[in-house]
Amino acid sequence: MNYLIVHPENHNKLKAVKAVLKALDVEFDEAKATQGLESITKSHKTIVLESLKEAIDEVRLIKQGKLKGIPARELLDEL
């Protein structure tokens, strides 16, 4: 599972982002800026930390030549 944190500039943009996510049938949680990251549950924190560890391990393997990376441009084009 992947996570995305967005910071819409105003209420209209927030509504638009939520509408797109609903149209794509994407599950999402809301947290107000005043709540900050404390509103993320412990399980979410665990998932994020595990994902970061996995990403660091992959970078290490790429640097060692044991795993093939992709060019940054190709990664951006996929987005």
pLDDT digits (tens, 9 = 90+) for 8-67: 888 888 899 889 989 998 888 776 655 555 556 667 778 888 889 999 999 999 999 999
User: Is 46 exposed, middle or buried, given 0-12, 13-18 or 19+ CB atoms closer than 10 A?
Assistant: exposed
Please tell me the distance from the alpha carbon of residue 54 to that of residue 20, in angstroms, as a whole number: 29
Residue 17 Cα distances to 4, 11, 20, 28, 75, angstroms: 12, 10, 5, 11, 23
Does this model's pTM top 0.75?
no
Q: In the chain, where are the structural domains located?
A: 1-34, 41-79
